[in-house]
Each structure stands twice: as structure tokens, then as C-alpha cells.
Amino acid sequence: MKKNRLLIRSSILLVMLLAIGYTFYNHFSEDQGLVAEGDEAPDFVLENMEGEEMYLEDFEGEGVYLNFWATYCTYCRDKMEYLNEHFEEYEELGVQVLNVNVDETELQVERHEQRFQLDYELYIDRNMLVSSAYGVGVLPSVFLIDETGEVQEHHVGGKTEQQVVESLDSLVPDQSAS
């Protein structure tokens, strides 16, 4: 009787350990769409608040500051304020700032845009398809993409204004190569 209980308990424990191991493997494996430094940035299509489509490939030859954010994220609000102050200057230098909201309602995003007087385009990632493809799990999450479409860096969390400006500086396309 005791042998049967020990065998059953051991079998249950083994099955549980296998399930946990499989879960960790799937969660942390590279096949989860996580985009890393040195990878080619996957193309995507999103709509701005006016319903106009934007493809990442539209910005080939320009640096791209790809910022995933949400209205409830304090660090996101700070970073977006810094970007609002500098985006026009960097747009003239060949750097695009793409602010991608992670699946909130259009009303939430519009209110956020008005409340913080944001002057740049906002995009909503419906059903989190783009953020999932990029492996975004924590906000804010930023991908710095150079003019060739290669991911140069991936930042997670809050940044100072100086750090945001340094990131934008790093994305200015090399004019000597033209």
C-alpha cells in the first residue's frame, strides 16, 4: 500500500516538474518573438488616431525610436513628455518617433493626448499584435532602430530626459554615407 502511494506521488511530482519545465522553456525561449539588439526589426502596420495606416518599412533610411506605452504608466508619461519636446527637432534630422499604445481604447488614448498636449502621432496596437511580435512585456519598452532597419538597442523602464535625447542622437542617420 505504501509503495503504491509513493509511486503515485512520485509520478504526480514528475508530471508537475515536467509541466513547470515546459512552461519555463516556452516562456523564455527565443521563439517567442522577442526582438533583440542586432536583429532586423520586423515590419508591421498600425493606424494612427485618424485611421491612416503606417508601416515600419515606410521609414527605411531614417532612425526610428519605437516606444511602446500605456496611459496608466507613469514612466511612459514622463518619456512621452520628453519626446514631445524633442520630436520635431529630430524629425528634421531623420529620426521618427513612433508611439505605440498597447491595446487601450481610442477614447483613453485621445484623452491622454489632449491632457498632455501631445503634438506627435499616436498609434494603437489592437490586440497587442505588434508588441507581442517584439516581445514587449514591461512598459515603457523602446526599440532603437537604425536607418538600415537593424535594432540597435532595447530599453525597458523609465529614462531621464538626457537619456532619451542620447537615444535620439544615436539614431540620427549617418549623412556621410549618402
In the chain the beta strands, taken as DSSP E runs, fall at 45-47, 53-55, 63-69, 95-101, 122-124, 141-145, 151-156
Find the distance separating the first CA and the last CA of the chain, reported in whole Å: 81
From 156, 121, 146, 130, select the one nearest 51 (Cα to Cα): 121
pLDDT tens-digit map of 42-52: 999 999 999 99
Across residues 55-63, what is the average pLDDT?
Answer: 96
Hey, what's the cell of 1?
500500500
Residue 171 vs residue 13, higher pLDDT: 171
CATH number of the structural domain 33-177: 3.40.30.10
Question: Given pLDDT bands bounded at 50, 70 and 90, which one contains residue 30?
Answer: very low
Across residues 28-49, what is the average pLDDT?
Answer: 80
Give the whole-angstrom CA distance, residue 96 versus residue 144: 10
Give the whole-angstrom CA distance, residue 99 versus residue 171: 16
